[in-house]
Amino acid sequence: MRIATWNVNSITARLPRLLAWLESTGTDVLCIQETKCSAEQFPRDELRELGYEAALNCSGRWNGVALLSKVGLEDVVAGLPGGPHYEGVEEPRAISATCGPARVWSVYVPNGREVGHAHYTYKLSWFEALKAAVAEDASGSRPFAVLGDYNVAPADEDVWDPAVFEGATHVTPAERAALSALREAGLTDVVPRPLKYDRPYTYWDYRQLAFPKNNGMRIDLVYGNQPFAKAVSDAYVDREERKGKGASDHAPVVVDLEV
């Protein structure tokens, strides 16, 4: 079973690339972030032609998450149970479902904007709610994983230059402590470091030639419980998909399971 996560940065803008990627990789389950579309705009028909069912939590031009599956899509939960609101709104940042033998979440963790901002406090509260929501599945016997754009680089080696990020979001002790709390709940980062190259970043800004210079960050993560981690046979960042015209600023992260 092949499962992946990808922040597509607008599913309508990325649709031709997305369809081609799904067909060429044979991915069974894809967790998508930043759909940036309404439910009516979501390309269900095009995805159905490739054999994918879709579950989505999206409401317009910002945020939005989805799950695509060829192996079933059951017990769908849209949203983060007990999650905080931002400026009175429950943002569409989480969706979970059972896909074949595994239970999976697609999450788009809030960015945080800057340390001390209300959005940063919201981000930390969102992480707390996520930990509480996944605790039971994380400790269970069924393969379970939370995949997505976590908007946190787990360690200094996961950013191209730690000095550049000093005092900024994505690398603060509080954000990294939130990841540690998820691990304490029974989840582990199942994508090993290093992979097939020294710095397996997943995100590169569009500006200042960040991708050609490999000035990136590893913020798209796959956190799985013990049964999930034991089933992993391979994992990689599809860096090639970040290349070329019309690419997302994130690359897909792919995990193969023997289940």
- Write down the pLDDT at residue 249: 98
Specify binding-site residues.
Answer: 7, 34, 149, 151, 249-250
Above 60 in pLDDT, residue 194?
no
- Write down the pLDDT at residue 192: 72
- Write down the pLDDT at residue 250: 98
- pTM > 0.85: yes or no: yes
Residue type, 144: F
Q: How far is CA 175 from CA 42, 114, 167, in A?
A: 32, 12, 12
Q: Provide the pLDDT confidence category of residue 198 given band limits of 50, 70 and 90.
A: low
Q: Supply the residues annotated as catalytic.
A: 108, 149, 250
Q: Provide the pLDDT confidence category of residue 123 given band limits of 50, 70 and 90.
A: very high
What's the CA gap between 38 and 125, in Å, rounded? 26
Rounded to an integer, the average pLDDT of 165-190 is 96
CATH number of 2-257: 3.60.10.10
Rounded to an integer, the average pLDDT of 250-254 is 97
What's the CA gap between 74 and 92, in Å, rounded? 19
Sequence spans of domains, the chain: 2-257
Query: 63 or 197: which carries more pLDDT confidence?
Result: 63
- Write down the pLDDT at residue 195: 55
Question: pLDDT digit string (tens) for 16-71?
Answer: 999 999 999 999 999 999 999 999 999 999 999 999 999 999 998 889 999 999 99
Specify binding-site residues for Mg(2+).
Answer: 7, 34, 149, 151, 249-250
Q: Which of 62, 90, 59, 57 is nearest to 76 (CA)?
A: 57
Q: Report the percent of the chain where pLDDT is more than 90.
A: 94
What's the CA gap between 145 and 168, in Å, rounded? 28
Rounded to an integer, the average pLDDT of 2-26 is 98
- Write down the pLDDT at residue 200: 83
- Angle (nearest 5°) at CA 90 between 186 and 153: 45
Write down the mean pLDDT value for the chain. 95
Above 70 in pLDDT, residue 202?
yes
Above 70 in pLDDT, residue 76?
yes
